[in-house]
A and B are shown apart, each in its own frame.
Chain A
Amino acid sequence: MRECSIEQIEQDGFDVLRINGSLDSFSFPKLEDALAKLRETERHRVILDCSGLNYISSVALGALIGFSRRARENGGDLLLAQLSPKVFNIIELLGFNRILAIHETREQAVQAFAS
Chain B
Amino acid sequence: MNPVTYPAGIALALGLTAGGYWSSRKVVGFLLKRRRDLRLLQRQREIMGGFAQDLGEALEQGGEANADQIISRVLACAQHAVRGGGALMLLCGEDEILQARSVAGIFPPLEQDINEATFAQTPGKVQFLRDNALSLAVPLGEGLIGEIGFHGQSVLITAGEADPRLPQYENEFLQIRSLIAVPMRFRNREIGVLLVVNPIDGSPFRAADVELLQLLADEASLSIHYARTRESIEEKRRMDQEFKVAERIQNSLLPRSFPEMDVLEAATFSQAAQQVGGDYVDVIKVDEDHLGLAIADVSGKGIGGAIMMSICRTILRAHAPGNPHPAPVLCEVNRMMTEDMSEDMFVTMIYMVLNVRTLQLRVSRAGHEPVLLWRAGEKCTLLEPGGLAVGMADTKTFEGLIKEQSVDLSPGDLLMVYTDGVTESMNENGEEWGREKFIETVANRRLEPLEKMMDNIKEEILSFAGQMAQYDDMTVLGLRMKSPGDARSSTL
A residues apposed to B, CB below 8 Å: 24, 57-59, 61-63, 65-66, 69, 93-96, 98-99
Are B397 and A62 touching (Cβ within 8 A)? Answer: no
A95: which B residues are within 8 A, CB to CB? 366-367, 386-389, 401
A36, chain B: closest CB distance, angstroms: 14
A61 proximity list for chain B (CB < 8 A): 299
| Given A95-B401, A98-B397, A98-B401, also A59-B389 (CB < 8 A) | no
B346–A98 CB distance below 8 A: no
User: A69 — nearest CB in chain B belongs to which residue?
Assistant: B343
The reply to whether A59 and B299 form a contact with Cβ atoms under 8 Å apart is yes
What's the nearest-Cβ distance from chain A to residue B330, in Å? 12
Q: Is the CB of B369 within 8 A of A93?
A: yes
Q: Which residue of A lies closest to B343 (CB)?
A: A66
* Residue B392 CB within 8 A of the other chain: yes
Contact A96 B344 (CB under 8 A): no
The answer to whether the Cβ of B24 comes within 8 Å of any Cβ in the partner chain is: no
Tell me how many residues of B have a C-beta within 8 Å of chain A: 21
CB distance from A100 to the nearest CB of B (A): 10
Taking CB as reference atom, which chain A residue is nearest B367?
A: A94
Q: Can you pick out 16 interface pairs between chain A and chain B where the beta carbons lie within 8 Å of each other? A: A59-B300, A59-B301, A61-B299, A62-B344, A65-B344, A69-B343, A94-B348, A94-B367, A94-B388, A94-B389, A95-B367, A96-B367, A96-B388, A96-B392, A98-B401, A99-B388
**Could you say which residues of chain B place their CB within 8 Å of the CB of A96?**
367, 388-389, 392
| A65 to B344 Cα, complex, angstroms | 7
List 3 tightest A-B contacts by C-beta distance, closest first. Answer: A95-B388, A62-B344, A58-B299
Q: Does B336 contact A (CB under 8 A)?
A: no
CA distance A61 to B346 in the complex (A): 10
Which residue of chain A is the closest to B384 with respect to CB atoms? A93
B393 within 8 A of A: yes
B283 within 8 A of A: no
CA distance A94 to B388 in the complex (A): 6
**What's the nearest-Cβ distance from chain A to residue B160, in Å?**
35
Interface of B is mostly: loop
Do A99 and B299 contact each other (CB < 8 Å), given the known contacts A62-B344, A62-B346, A65-B392? Answer: no
B27 within 8 A of A: no
Shortest CB-to-CB span from B164 to chain A, Å, is: 32
> Which positions 398-455 of chain B face chain A at CB distance < 8 Å?
401
List the A side residues contacting B368 at CB < 8 Å: 93
Whole-angstrom distance between the Cβ of A69 and the nearest chain B Cβ: 8
What is the distance, in angstroms, from B193's C-beta to the closest C-beta of chain A? 28
Residues of A with C-beta under 8 A to B397: 98-99
A3 shortest CB reach to chain B, Å? 13
Taking beta carbons and an 8 Å cutoff, which residues of B are in contact with A? 299-301, 343-346, 348, 366-369, 386-389, 392-393, 397, 401, 471
CB distance from A85 to the nearest CB of B (A): 14
A65 vs B346: C-alpha distance when bound (angstroms): 11
Asked if B345 and A93 make an inter-chain contact with CB atoms under 8 angstroms apart, the answer reads no
Q: Chain B residues near A59: list those with CB within 8 A.
A: 299-301, 344
CA distance A60 to B369 in the complex (A): 18
Q: In the assembly, what is the distance between CA of A102 and CA of B437, in Å?
A: 30
Q: Within the assembled complex, what's the spacing in Å between the Cα atoms of A69 and B393?
A: 10
Q: Which residue of B lies closest to A90 (CB)?
A: B420
Q: How far is the CB of A79 from chain B (nearest CB, A)?
A: 18
Q: A58-B299, A59-B300 are in contact. Are A66 and B388 (CB under 8 A)?
A: no
* A93 CA to B367 CA, complexed, in Å: 5
**Minimum C-beta distance from B363 to chain A (A):** 15
Neighbouring B residues of A99 by C-beta, 8 Å? 388, 392-393, 397
A65 and B393 alpha carbons, distance in the complex (Å): 10
Nearest-CB residue, chain B, relative to A25: B301
CB distance from A91 to the nearest CB of B (A): 10
Q: Are the CB atoms of B346 and A58 closer together than 8 Å?
A: yes
Give the residues in chain B near A98, CB-CB below 8 Å: 388, 397, 401
**A62 / chain B contacts, CB cutoff of 8 Å:** 299-300, 343-346, 392
B-chain residues with CB within 8 Å of residue A94 when the two chains form the complex: 346, 348, 367, 388-389
Q: How far is the CA of A82 from the CA of B298 in the complex (A)?
A: 27
| Closest partner residue, chain B, to A59 (CB atom) | B299
Q: Which A residues lie within 8 Å of B389 (CB)? A: 94-96
Complex CA–CA separation, A95 to B301 (angstroms): 21
A63→B344 CA distance, assembly (Å)? 5
- Inter-chain CA distance A48–B140, complex, in Å, is 38
Interface centre among B366, B368, B389, by most A CB within 10 Å? B389
Are B344 and A66 within 8 A (Cβ)? yes
* B392: chain A residues within 8 A (beta carbon): 62, 65, 96, 99
Residues of A within 8 A of B366 (CB): 95
B422 to chain A, nearest CB (A): 14
Residues of B within 8 A of A24 (CB): 471
A61 vs B368: C-alpha distance in the bound complex, in angstroms? 15
Neighbouring A residues of B299 by C-beta, 8 Å = 58-59, 61-62
Nearest CB on B from A34, distance (A): 17
